[in-house]
């Protein structure tokens, strides 16, 4: 019997870059206000993370739950699924991520966001800034119009990159549970972009590698295990 391993990665690339990037154009033009609000949610979350305020510890997971829910429904379900049947296997991952953020927001597992001045914080800051500010303009280098910009909060790739940054900017014993879905997405997206000959695939892989490396560093330095003071949580 012919088996699945007879297929190569390229066999599963079902669409052209032209069709892929038009997904963002269609989403940006049809859902402009929602797309802008999702981006704004990311900017607010970034601001709160850097301010180190206690309220941010609750609001940031809520904002991230919202953008993941929107990206899953708006981008994956509405736009990506019709051209890529494999998305139906990825959607549960987005649902799981939303549920996890909600759990962190309602506090059974506390997270504490803030700048710590260590290497992971720098990487976290860079990832969030990159996802919010730089990633949408990468297409310009490749000659695509601004209307096809992939924006944090709606397009999956920058949302995932930014999320990795937020996780690195946080502390809490259970923060690692927020990593598997975004890291798996990095692998899948890098594969897709690579098969489409898109150099930006490297970005997803570098982000993945940096996050795993920083996660390991933090684990070794005890950052994730350090007890959070009640004052930091509420």
Partner 1 sequence: MNATFKGNGNMTRHHITRRTFLTGAGMLGIGGLVAARLPGAGLAHAASGPQPLHHRIPGTDHALPAVGLGSWITFNVGNDPVLLKNCTDVMAAFFAAGGAMIDSSPMYGSSQATIGHGLAELGIDREQVFATDKVWTSDEDGGPEQIDESARRWGIRQFNLLQVHNMLDWENQLPLLQDMKAAGALGYTGITTSHGRRHDLLGIIMEREAIDFIQVTYNPLDRAVEDRILPMARERNIAVIINRPFRGGRLTKALRGQPMPGLAADYGAQSWAQLILKYIVSHPAVTCAIPATTRVDHVRENMAAITPMPDADKVLLPEGKERHAIARAIEAAL
The answer to the question of residue 22 lying near partner 1 (CB under 8 A) is: yes
Q: 233 is written with which tokens?
A: 């949580």
| Residue span 85-104 as binding mask against partner 1, x where in contact by CB under 8 A, dash where not | x-------------------
**Is residue 15 within the footprint of partner 1 (CB under 8 A)?**
yes
Among 22-30, 61-69, 102-110, 122-130, which window interacts with partner 1 (CB under 8 A)? 22-30
82 binds partner 1 (CB under 8 A): yes
CB closer to partner 1 out of 14 and 40: 14
Alpha-carbon span 89 to 37, nearest angstrom: 27
DSSP state of 78: I
Q: Contacting partner 1 (CB under 8 A), which of 46, 75, 79, 152?
A: 79
Three-state secondary-structure class, residue 157 = helix
Q: Are 170 and 113 in contact (CB under 8 A)?
A: yes
User: Which position among 34, 36, 44, 83 is part of the footprint of partner 1 (CB under 8 A)?
Assistant: 83
Smallest gap from Cβ 215 to partner 1, in A, equals: 35
Instruction: State the minimum distance, in angstroms, from the CB of residue 78 to partner 1.
Output: 9
Among 8-16, 48-56, 103-111, 117-125, the segment contacting partner 1 (CB under 8 A): 8-16
User: Beta strands of 9-137 (E only): which ranges?
Assistant: 112-113
Angle at 153 between CA 91 and CA 209, to 5 degrees: 75
The pair of structure tokens assigned to 98 is 């939303």
Report the distance separating Cα 216 and Cα 175, nearest Å.
13
Q: 113 in helix, strand or coil?
A: strand
The answer to the question of residue 23 lying near partner 1 (CB under 8 A) is yes
Helix (H) or strand (E) holding 96: helix 87-105
Contacts to partner 1 by CB under 8 A: 1-2, 4, 6-7, 13-16, 18-19, 22-23, 26, 79, 82-85
């Amino acid at each position: 019997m012919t088996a699945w391993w007879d297929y190569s990665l390229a066999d599963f690339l079902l669409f052209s870059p032209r069709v892929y990037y038009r997904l963002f154009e269609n989403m940006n033009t049809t859902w402009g206000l929602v797309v802008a609000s999702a981006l704004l949610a990311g900017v607010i979350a970034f601001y709160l993370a850097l301010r180190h305020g206690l309220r941010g510890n609750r609001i940031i997971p809520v904002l991230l739950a919202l953008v993941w829910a929107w990206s899953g429904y708006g981008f994956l379900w509405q736009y990506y699924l019709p051209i890529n049947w494999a998305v139906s296997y990825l959607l549960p991952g987005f649902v799981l991520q939303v549920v996890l953020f909600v759990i962190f927001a309602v506090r059974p597992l506390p997270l504490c966001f803030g700048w710590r001045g260590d290497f992971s914080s720098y990487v976290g800051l860079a990832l969030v800034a990159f996802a919010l500010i730089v990633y949408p303009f990468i297409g310009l280098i490749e000659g695509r119009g601004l209307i096809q910009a992939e924006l944090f909060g709606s397009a999956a790739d920058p949302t995932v990159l930014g999320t990795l940054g937020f996780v690195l900017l946080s502390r809490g014993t259970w923060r690692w549970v927020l990593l598997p879905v975004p890291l798996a997405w990095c692998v899948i997206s890098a594969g897709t972009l690579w098969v489409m000959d898109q150099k930006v695939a490297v970005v997803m892989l570098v982000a993945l590698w940096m996050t795993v490396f920083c996660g390991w560093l933090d684990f070794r330095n005890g950052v994730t295990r350090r007890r959070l003071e009640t004052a930091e949580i509420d």
